[in-house]
Amino acid sequence: MRVLVAGASGLIGTHLLRALRDRGDEAFGLPRFRTAPWTVEGAGAVVNLAGASVAGKRWTPAYKQEIEDSRVRTTRAVVEAIGAASHKPRVLVNASAVGYYGGRGDEVLEERARPGGDFLASVTQKWEAEAQRAPIRSVQIRTGVVLSAKGGALEKMVPPFKAFVGGPIGSGRQWFPWIHIADEVSAILWAIDRDLTGPINLVSPGMIGAPPAARPQETRISTLTGARGAPEDIAGMVRFLCGPQARYITGQAMHVNGGAYFGS
């Protein structure tokens, strides 16, 4: 099968292209948005992973607009390319995020749960609405934080612990919906191959209350620093440095239900 991937140069995209080729598919990355016309003629599936990093920069008004436009407009362009194709793909698998739900404390969130009301929830609703306009089967993958030994969120989490200054941020009780890169890729392949439609949560089945990199180190860090109040001090520093997005690091909680088996 011929599979076209938008956002193929990112962490998920590079692993997905390799997995598709390993199983015998013809997998190609689409050009960067607006650098060349997009055509999906003859493709069996399209996967859209494009979107500016929500952790890449401080959330100025201009960057918040980039976060939204890079998702909504790119998805709109993919859907328009599908609509223009004489021989349409069978399926569009479109990126989404657990940010759809917003901060919900200990509420267990399944796909039918109502959306949140914050910035990322608003962006994600618009993002999914564009994908659902596709005139073919459309799947929206609401992904948690993707962890990989190389790249992604874990790469940014580990250095403070290697420097013996890592620890939980804020209360440390926030739910942390995460997924390993291998499971993320397997789930996308599953969505391509199976008769799925609509949103699906892609998160680990074992929800935890703090990032996995922080939990084993908490006692050691407290012993070394002698400061039990350090997490709240770190939270204050994060709020000062990161601005509007700090609430997603220090205090937002969402207990997303997931963990289906995506094997063959």
Q: Give me the percent of the chain exceeding a pLDDT of 90.
A: 55
Residue 16 has pLDDT above 50, yes or no: yes
Q: What are phi and psi of 63, to 5 degrees?
A: -75, -35
- Whether the Cβ atoms of residue 78 and residue 46 lie closer than 8 Å to each other: yes
Give the pLDDT confidence of 118-168 residue by residue, as tens digits.
999 999 999 999 999 999 999 999 998 888 777 655 555 555 545 554 555
Residue 227 has pLDDT above 50, yes or no: no
**Cα separation, 23 vs 18, whole angstroms:** 9
Residue 239 has pLDDT above 90, yes or no: no
Residue 35 has pLDDT above 80, yes or no: yes
**Three-point CA angle 197, 126, 143, nearest 5°:** 55
Q: Which domains does the chain have, with CATH numbers?
A: 2-146+177-203 (3.40.50.720)
The residues, any chain, with a CB within 8 Å of residue 130's CB and separated by 6 or more, are 72, 75, 76, 79
Average pLDDT over residues 40-53: 96
Top mean-pLDDT range of 33-37, 235-239, 256-260: 33-37
The residues, any chain, with a CB within 8 Å of residue 32's CB and separated by 6 or more, are none
Average pLDDT over residues 189-200: 96
